[in-house]
Amino acid sequence: MPVLKKIALTITSAALLSGFILSPAVAADKDTSDDKQPKPPSTMSSLGGEQLGKAGTQVNLGAGAPVLPKKLSGRSWIVADAESGDVLAAHNAHWRLPPASTLKMLFADTVLPALQPTQTHTVSESELAGVGEGSSLVGIKEDHTYTVHDLWLGVFLRSGNDAVHVLSEMYGGLPQTVAAMQKHAEELQALDTVVVSPDGYDAPRQVSSAYDLTLIARSGMQKKDFREYAATASADFPGEKKKGKKRESFEIQNTNRLITGDIGVDPYQGIAGVKNGYTTHAGNTFTGVAERNGKVLLVTVMNPSAEESHAVYKEAAHLLDWGFSASGKVTPVGQLVPPKSLDTGISTGGKGAAPAADQGTGGQAKAAHASAASKGSSGVGVALAIIGGLLVVVAAGVFLVNRRWPVPGLGSRPAPEADGPEADAPEADAPEAKDSGATADAVPAAEPAAPAAEDAGKPADKS
């Protein structure tokens, strides 16, 4: 019997060493953290190209093309040529995810043309009652009067859900606004998008995708006012009116850190917008547009790692850098499709032919303050030069095959000096703060001295 026991123990030990048997203690040591991460669906839309419907990273590198940036953690991302529509590379492009405040791009693209910027409105209590708990706010007060221009500054710069709700009421109410946004998304062929709230606040079934957000941004950039608001670094916003005193204003800054910069993030050279977002379920989201050497690129990053501060901006900057270097050296993995009403070949205007008309509602957005440019941001300077009246519009609304939907004013100016700020900024000293359900900038920016929420290293906004 002792001999048999010894043989049995020997066999068991060998099996353990060979990996055939895992004791509970050994099994517990196995790293299963990746198993807990959400996985993209096995079947996604292939709109824009077959490769875009596949899970994982899609890129077709040619001779001399740089490799993609390392350690990209976004669950979904895309980098595309804004004018030709070529998708240079993508990762789970059609994965339907919560969009956070990037959905405000669709809100603005839908509502901007309907309201005149000089129109004034006195805010009622009921208009602010439906703003979600923990929302990012610009600091709108009931019984106070604002212009539409003021309200759009609140939407684009501070991602103010209070401003979105007031503008929605002016448009006809929340249900009508949501319905109009959904209809516009369908016109743009942003078919992954389901709109439930106009501000992007977390809501059941509300989703979009990196592909759709890029389509939406491209559409918004056709509008002069949209471009101006999206590129504004800072502006004055009306403050609280006190009896017997002149109404004062306070400064608001754009929460898009590729425009304004922050600790660990330099303003990106050639940046011209577009929108960032953050919610508990969406994580950080960002869509941006930038110009360099006459080339205009769009990038969207959704839900990157929360372990690194400002990861969404850093990864977007890395992808833009890669895109500018890789342009002409990769075979596109797909295309940004045009709106349903826009011919894909040669068109001479008609419904949906926005670039020729340079659509907008007056283009009265303020230029960013000189203080932003004084930080050494040539990127902000380029963006402001682009929107400063030096716009080049495609003549007669003709869309060439290799220039399917050009962005007016972008790609037509000389590139900035090469010694501008580096996009590859050093990492922040501390990791990004994790959200517990409330926003980092939920407190209204009611005082001029109040810092932007992300100045403290917290997420950009709670949509």
Q: Hey, which residues are catalytic here?
A: 101, 104, 159
Burial status of residue 415 (CB atoms within 10 A of its CB: 0-12, 13-18, 19 or more):
middle
Tokens of 89: 């590379």
Q: Which residue has the tokens 């400002």?
A: 310
Cis previous bond, 274, omega within 30: yes
Identify whether the C-beta of residue 123 lies closer than 8 Å to the C-beta of residue 166: yes
Sign for the CA dihedral angle at 452, 458, 462, 463 comes to positive
Helices vs strands, H then E, count in the chain = 14, 12
Virtual torsion, Cα 422, 424, 429, 431, nearest 10 deg: 140
Q: Which residue has the tokens 């005149």?
A: 116
**208, β-bridge pairs:** 97
User: CA Rg, the chain, in Å?
Assistant: 24
Sign for the CA dihedral angle at 37, 41, 42, 44 comes to negative
Nearest partner of 90 among 333, 329, 338, 336, judged by Cα = 333
Report which residue type is found at 424.
D
CA distance 96 to 90: 14
Identify whether the C-beta of residue 200 lies closer than 8 Å to the C-beta of residue 181: no
Q: What is the DSSP string of 276-325?
A: EEEETTTEEEEEEEEEETTEEEEEEEES--SSSTTHHHHHHHHHHHHHHH
For 461, half-sphere exposure in the C-beta direction (CA atoms, 13 angstrom radius) is 37
